[in-house]
Structure 1
């Protein structure tokens, strides 16, 4: 809080799922009002999410976001008009390693995001309905991921077996070190993206684009993929339901997403000193 007081926040970068959004993927009126109040106070607001850019459109419109946003954990930065500001693809070498590690596990669903589509080999997996509801569009079934290896935005291992995802994360990290980012965006999702595709680099790029010093930025989130922006932002805020390892990396902790924790944080830590 001392840093926030010395350097009033001029830009807030927020995670979406588990942060701004309720468990049913909706936005509460309090959250919408808090973001509007930020913009009225002259504070820039944007989104950084593991989602594909086209799965952010509804929230961008509802929140009135008018600056570039970050999809694929920062792998793709998109201007308000839909044009690409920055795009980083996963190296084919890292993609092959991840796919080889994930594929043998029957309770892990393997998803690939490329060419603007959500690709999978089997649409009958139990995690598919949840993801389709969250994204707002259906997957494309393919026989093989091989034709897409040179232009993959993200690979996801999805499973209700959280412990298995923790183990796979630990196994994959050293295998793709220097090539890819590996992080759990939610307990049931393990994301693999390009090295430059992280929310910390996204925050740096967006802040520079907006002309805001890093000490005047804030970041809020709940997942392991949010830690990268916590380490960069002048003020880092963890959601109340976040894992303890995530909370320890933040300056402050707010309420959970079901308690409108993001709105609480905006009101308490940003607007109060704006």
Structure 2
């Protein structure tokens, strides 16, 4: 007999959000019903906390969040970090040095916020292929004159780095170069980016670790996702749910395939397995 689901980790882009980056009323209702039932419902995203919409932050009973692909797990009320698996600042500098060999936009996530160079901030449309991402980036990023100088002044570990590419051949070459470093892990949930965390860091590991803190077993955790940064998460938890719009390797990692993000498939899966 399968164990009762006590925790649900939810990816955002391509999963909880529709293609316009919206959370539809039925999805919001299902999330609230699950929370009211006593289930720990939380986002498990590559975004920093500052990049999560207020309508999710304000959801009554949403107490935790997995951010930056598992690098940081926070208590939402206080934004206090409960779990941290950070990237050393010198490692982040080396990653960005590699990125600067190519036509790229570089970002650094630190303590729940994303940072970007002022000059590149004005050129996000050249790198983000999805126009719906333009508004998101413009409303959530903090600009700095120079990202490398910022890292030097910071001199602290960061959550993760992200590199956006204008040219996919350059992305392939940069990926090959970066993956030689066994102290980092690469994913690319947007298809035209590379997200870099410390080796072994992923959303699933963070969910399981939080579960242990809350007395919830791995088999009692459900997760929904669609991108390559969700593959490890779906393998780590007791019930991995892939969206119909998910990448093929993500579907193969899942225990169940639900509808697309446009069909509110995540909410339907929660109704099926939890409610």
Query: Is the structural similarity TM-score above 0.5?
Result: yes
Tell me if 1:186 matches 2:190: yes
Q: Give 1:78's aligned residue.
A: 74
Q: Give 2:26's aligned residue.
A: 30
Q: Give 1:200's aligned residue.
A: 204
Q: Give 1:49's aligned residue.
A: 45
Secondary structure (helix, strand or coil) at the match of 1:220 reads strand
Q: Give 2:5's aligned residue.
A: 9
Whole-angstrom distance in 2 between the partners of 1:96 and 1:138 = 19
Tell me if 1:232 matches 2:232: no
* Uncovered stretches (5+) of structure 2, i.e. residues with no partner: none
Secondary structure (helix, strand or coil) at the match of 2:230 reads helix
Secondary structure (helix, strand or coil) at the match of 1:247 reads helix
Secondary structure (helix, strand or coil) at the match of 2:47 reads coil
Instruction: After TM superposition, give the deviation of residue 167 of structure 1 in Å.
Output: 4.9
Q: Where does 1:1-274 land on structure 2 (aligned, <5 Å)?
A: 6-56=2-52, 58-81=54-77, 82-106=79-103, 108-114=104-110, 116-120=113-117, 121-125=119-123, 126=125, 127=127, 130-135=132-137, 136-148=139-151, 150-159=156-165, 161-162=167-168, 164-175=170-181, 177=182, 179-195=183-199, 197-271=201-275
Instruction: After TM superposition, give the deviation of residue 212 of structure 1 in Å.
Output: 0.8
Whole-angstrom distance in 2 between the partners of 1:52 and 1:217 = 22
Whole-angstrom distance in 2 between the partners of 1:122 and 1:160 = 12
Q: Compute the RMSD of aligned alpha carbons.
A: 2.3
CA distance 1:11–1:172, change in 2 (3 Å) = same
* Uncovered stretches (5+) of structure 1, i.e. residues with no partner: none
Corresponding residue pairs, total: 264
CA contact (8 A) 1:156 1:191 kept: yes
Whole-angstrom distance in 1 between the partners of 2:177 and 2:272 = 40
Whole-angstrom distance in 2 between the partners of 1:167 and 1:36 = 44
